[in-house]
Amino acid sequence: MTARNTLIAPSILASDFSRLGEEVETVAKAGADWIHLDVMDGHFVPNITFGPPIIKAIRDRTDKVFDCHLMITPADPYLAAFADAGCDIITVHAEAGPHLHRSLQTIRNLGRKAGVSLNPSTPESVIEYVLDELDLVLLMTVNPGFGGQAFIPSVVEKVRRIKAMIGDRPIDIEIDGGVSPANAGALTAAGANVLVAGSAVFKGEGEGAYAKNIAAIRDAANG
């Protein structure tokens, strides 16, 4: 069996927002590989979170990769602001439109890595003609908008299909929604190499608890 080296990206959506900077530092020290930032607009998804000023305010709390998941439409008018705020990876939704190829090119032209996210019901065929513009595919295993939802297992088959579709291209496959030690192994066996986790990481008190939670997901993923 090939050794896996899964990256864990805690979603700060599940953190204590009243101590956001501290939470980012704590989870980084606890072993997070990336920091996942869920940006919601109350339009593309039925919830509102935060935008570039908040991301900028926490950017100097860690040098970990800032992995920004935009659940907003339109996204294009805001891409430069998210790049300026310090996001290293910027992911837009295929369903958010209107011109996915243009959005991905814009992100790369800003010097950032470009990702596309697919909702659970969106078929993998939507990325067939943008594979060469992509650094990351983010597959939602819940309907986007809220943390703490139940994992949708039918997406595991989509992970397998996307892994086959991308072939040798250096494209990360990231999973988001209801990720826990119970499903991490199946996801990485299917081809995922980055796992986002919110409620499975931000539980218990502080660095020790978060480190234990991250290690449990990582062990299950790499097992």
Q: How many residues bind ligand 5RP (CB under 6 A)?
A: 22
- Helices and strands (H and E) in the chain: how many: 7, 8
Tokens describing residue 102: 């243009």
Which residues between 169 and 198 bind ligand 5RP (CB under 6 A)?
A: 176-179, 196-198
Min. distance of Cβ 76 from ligand 5RP in angstroms? 20
Tokens describing residue 34: 């990336």
* Member of 70, 100, 142, 155 binding ligand 5RP (CB under 6 A): 142
Task: Give the position of tokens 């659940």.
Answer: 71
Could you list the beta-strand ranges (E) of 1-88: 7-10, 34-40, 65-71
For residue 149, count other CB atoms closer than 10 A to its CB.
15
* Member of 14, 27, 87, 221 binding ligand 5RP (CB under 6 A): 14
Tokens describing residue 158: 């989509």
- Which of 117, 119, 113, 128 shows the shortest CA–CA distance to 173? 117
Task: Give the position of tokens 């990582």.
Answer: 218
Min. distance of Cβ 199 from ligand 5RP in angstroms? 3
Stretch that binds ligand 5RP, among 9-17, 80-88, 105-113, 208-216 (CB under 6 A): 9-17
* Member of 31, 144, 174, 218 binding ligand 5RP (CB under 6 A): 144
C-alpha span between 152 and 161 (Å, rounded) = 16
Min. distance of Cβ 160 from ligand 5RP in angstroms? 21
- Residues 197-217 as b or e (16 or more Cβ within 10 Å = b): bbbbbbeeeeeeebbebbebb
Site string for ligand 5RP, 84-123 (x = CB under 6 A): ----------------------------------------
- What positions carry a catalytic annotation? 38, 176
> Residue number with the shortest CB distance to ligand 5RP?
198
Which residues between 30 and 49 bind ligand 5RP (CB under 6 A)?
A: 36, 38
Min. distance of Cβ 82 from ligand 5RP in angstroms? 15
Q: Which residues bind ligand 5RP (CB under 6 A)?
A: 11, 13-14, 36, 38, 69, 142, 144-149, 176-179, 196-200
